[in-house]
């Protein structure tokens, strides 16, 4: 029997993984944490996005299993069709006894480390060089355009040590300068839990396909491809945009490997059967509105279709990555690599088609394009480095520095989370959520405002009628009629009680937001219904219990 040799990582590999792993282990516990004062987010995107993820997590943590998918946690009456696997993992951990913070943060840490490993395997397989793989990972994780130009300008205007060490702005996201493609770590890997899970899963599937397609047909059977298609189909409920990206990459792999058409068809068959079943089960009952559409130039406002403003937009957003990727694709003949060409196809499509009502969400697909187009960029840099000329080595170093400068500024900000911390809920709202859990029945709903930090849905797991309208719009949910009904219910005028019965409302939460956004008439609620709990600015009324006069 042939002995199995275990190779220890090279010293540069240990340094590389220790650096990036240490960064992740340092940052994650500071992104979402609790103190005696409440629950906090260490970054604005976590503050914005994780409230929605917590609402999904609470479904699996607190509701009966039979009711998990009956209703969307943010919109009563619609099935739970948002990619839910990451929320399910955290919810099940909470059922097993984990606290809320650990259930959210620990899976994120594990997934991030796995992503680092699979990125290395993926890039190393394609580039056939561990050092080029390290460079590709670094370029990907430190993505950013030319926003650092404004950092330099600000430093000349305010030459202080604090401004030097803690950038005063997010230099990969400057709306006033037309820069929208924020660094991948704070914009997607940290706040978007579904994307964080979908990325390593999809990369692993693509890595397997690449390796299997490079073998002869006897070593990678049709059955193996069929089995691999099963987890690919489940990407629909892990992360939808990643599922779309994988379709594009698999089409490119198929076209470039027509000799393996039968095996790729087997992969597509199993993935397709799973996808159709999931779509019919979760999405078939409610078709989202305005999902796809034409959107020229992504966020460039490319209405006049002028070439120079379009090129300037992408130069500012992606910096030198795009021209170097084009040069590398031609010079290094990477147009023969199906995944690189898939990256170009995605880039073109994202500049023509809007894949979700909110056009910025195309960034999730553009991230996949960026990931693939880094490959020809690294090949060009390696070619310059290996040329033997000191000047060209200097050019390679300078180009790399320019491509990671803006992203590096973002990571500097992340390392100093104490200056970017936002409170999500204070202890008062946490206590109210705990008390509401004890009295709320699974089939009862709660009338609330649409504040994105909705303690009823996020902390108590209660079913609300309508969540944050900005999210619902981006999901393609038409909430106009529901909005009218909520206004009438909050008015407590004639007709409100009929709506309470229609929506199975048991409790109504009257908060400052409910008063300002929906005209909640607290005087009538106080006169008509029994108050069951309160804190300094919020009252909860039982609308099924008339107040004894």
- DSSP string for residues in 24-78: HHHHGGGTEEEETTEEEESSHHHHHHHHHHHHHHHHHHHS-GGGTTTSBTTBTTS
Give the separation between CA 149 and CA 395, rounded to whole angstroms.
Answer: 19
- Token pair 């009956």 is at which residue? 70
| Overall average pLDDT of the 14-40 stretch | 96
| pLDDT score of 440 more than 50 | yes
Do 180 and 363 contact (CB within 8 A), yes or no? yes
Q: What is the pLDDT of residue 302?
A: 52
Question: Dihedral of CA 398/404/406/412: which sign?
Answer: negative
Q: Where are the alpha helices (DSSP H) in 295-353?
A: 307-318, 321-331, 338-350
pLDDT in tens, 327-343: 999 999 999 999 999 99
Instruction: Report the chain's mean pLDDT, rounded to a whole number.
Output: 92
Tell me the angle at which helices 240-256 and 338-350 cross, rounded to the nearest 10 degrees. Answer: 130
The tens digit of pLDDT for each residue in 169-207 reads 899 999 999 999 999 999 999 999 999 999 999 999 999
Dist CA 46 CA 8 (whole Å): 37
**CA angle centred on 54, ends 103 and 40, rounded to 5°:** 80
Backbone angles phi, psi at 266, to 5 degrees: -65, -40
Q: Using an 8 Å Cβ cutoff, are 353 and 295 in contact?
A: yes
**pLDDT tens-digit map of 231-249:** 999 999 999 999 999 999 9
Structural element, H or E, at residue 426: strand 422-426
Q: Please tell me the predicted confidence (pLDDT) of residue 290.
A: 60
Give tens-digit pLDDT for 206-224. Answer: 999 999 998 755 567 899 9
CA–CA separation, 172 and 170 (whole Å)? 6
pLDDT at 482: 97
**Whole-number Å distance between alpha carbons of 367 and 387:** 31
What pLDDT does 357 receive? 84
| Nearest one of 222, 138, 195 to 407, comparing CA atoms | 138
Q: What is the pLDDT of residue 6?
A: 43
CA distance 255 to 322: 24
Phi, psi at residue 9, to the nearest 5°? -60, 145
User: Could you give phi then psi for residue 33, rounded to 5 degrees?
Assistant: -155, 165
Using CB atoms within 10 A of its CB, is residue 159 exposed (0-12), middle (13-18) or buried (19+)? Answer: exposed
pLDDT digit string, tens, across residues 488-501: 999 999 999 999 99
Radius of gyration of the chain (CA): 26
Helix (H) or strand (E) holding 422: strand 422-426
Query: Could you give the CA distance from residue 328 to residue 379 in angstroms, rounded to a whole number?
Result: 7
Q: Among 92, 68, 90, which residue's Cα sits nearest to residue 79?
A: 68
Q: Is the pLDDT of residue 418 over 80?
A: no
For residue 235, the Cα-to-chain-centroid distance in whole angstroms is: 14
455 pLDDT more than 80 = yes
Q: What is the pLDDT of residues 112-133, one digit of tens each?
A: 999 999 999 999 999 999 999 9
Helix (H) or strand (E) holding 532: strand 529-534
Beta carbons within 8 Å of 238's beta carbon, 6+ residues apart? 83, 85, 86, 194, 197, 198, 201
Token readout for 370 is 């960026």
**How far is 508 from 500, CA to CA, in rounded Å?**
9
Q: Which CATH class is domain 426-546?
A: alpha beta
Are 540 and 530 in contact by the 8 Å Cβ rule? The answer is no
Residue 304's pLDDT is: 56
Cα–Cα distance measured from residue 144 to residue 222, given in angstroms and rounded to the nearest whole number: 41
Task: Dihedral sign for Cα 411, 88, 291, 267, please.
Answer: positive
**Domain boundaries along the sequence of the chain:** 11-36+105-419, 426-546
């Amino acid at each position: 029997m042939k002995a199995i040799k275990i190779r220890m990582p090279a010293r540069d590999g240990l340094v590389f993984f220790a650096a990036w792993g240490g960064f992740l282990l340092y940052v994650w516990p500071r992104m979402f944490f609790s103190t005696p004062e409440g629950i906090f987010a260490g970054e604005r995107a976590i503050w914005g996005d994780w409230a929605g993820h917590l609402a999904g997590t609470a479904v699996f943590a607190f509701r009966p299993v039979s009711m998990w998918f009956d209703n969307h946690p943010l919109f009563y009456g619609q099935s739970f069709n948002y990619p839910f696997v990451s929320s399910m993992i955290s919810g099940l951990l909470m059922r097993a006894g984990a606290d809320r913070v650990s259930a959210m943060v620990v899976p994120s840490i594990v997934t991030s480390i796995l992503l680092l490993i699979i990125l290395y395997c993926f890039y190393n397989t394609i580039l056939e060089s561990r050092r080029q793989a390290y460079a590709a990972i670094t370029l990907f994780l430190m993505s950013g355009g030319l926003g650092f130009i404004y950092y330099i300008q600000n430093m000349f205007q305010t030459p202080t040590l604090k401004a030097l060490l803690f950038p005063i702005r997010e230099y990969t996201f400057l709306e006033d300068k037309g820069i929208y493609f924020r660094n991948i770590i704070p914009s997607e890997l940290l706040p978007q839990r579904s994307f964080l899970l979908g990325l390593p899963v999809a990369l692993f599937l693509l890595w397997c396909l690449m390796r299997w397609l490079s073998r002869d047909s006897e070593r990678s059977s049709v059955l193996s491809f069929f089995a691999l298609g099963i987890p690919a189909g489940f990407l629909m409920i892990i992360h939808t945009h990643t599922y779309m990206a994988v379709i594009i990459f698999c089409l490119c792999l198929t076209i470039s490997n027509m000799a393996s058409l039968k095996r790729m068809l087997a992969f597509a068959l199993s993935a397709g059967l799973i996808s159709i079943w999931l779509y019919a089960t979760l999405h078939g009952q409610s078709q989202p509105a305005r999902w796809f559409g034409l959107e020229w130039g992504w966020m460039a406002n490319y209405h006049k279709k002028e070439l120079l403003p379009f090129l300037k937009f992408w130069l500012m957003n992606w910096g030198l990555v795009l021209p170097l990727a084009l040069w590398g694709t031609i010079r290094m003949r990477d147009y023969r690599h199906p995944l690189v060409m898939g990256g170009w196809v995605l880039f073109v499509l994202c500049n023509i088609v809007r894949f979700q009502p909110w056009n910025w969400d195309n960034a999730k697909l553009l991230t996949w394009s960026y990931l693939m187009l880094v490959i020809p960029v690294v090949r060009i840099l390696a070619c310059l480095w290996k040329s033997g000329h000191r000047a060209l080595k200097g050019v390679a170093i300078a180009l790399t520095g320019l491509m990671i400068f803006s992203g590096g500024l973002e990571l500097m900000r992340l390392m100093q989370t104490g200056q970017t911390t936002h409170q999500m809920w204070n202890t008062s709202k946490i206590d109210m959520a705990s008390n509401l859990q004890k009295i709320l029945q699974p089939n009862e709903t709660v009338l609330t405002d649409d504040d994105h930090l909705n303690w009823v849905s996020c902390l108590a797991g209660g079913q609300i009628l309508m969540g944050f309208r900005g999210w619902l719009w981006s999901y393609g949910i038409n909430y106009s009629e529901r909005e009218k009904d909520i206004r009438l219910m909050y008015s407590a005028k004639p007709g409100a009680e009929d709506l309470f019965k229609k929506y199975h409302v048991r409790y109504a939460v009257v908060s400052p937001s409910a008063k300002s956004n929906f005209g909640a008439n607290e005087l009538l609620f106080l006169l008509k219904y029994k108050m069951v709990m309160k804190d300094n600015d919020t009252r909860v009324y039982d609308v099924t219990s008339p107040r004894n006069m």
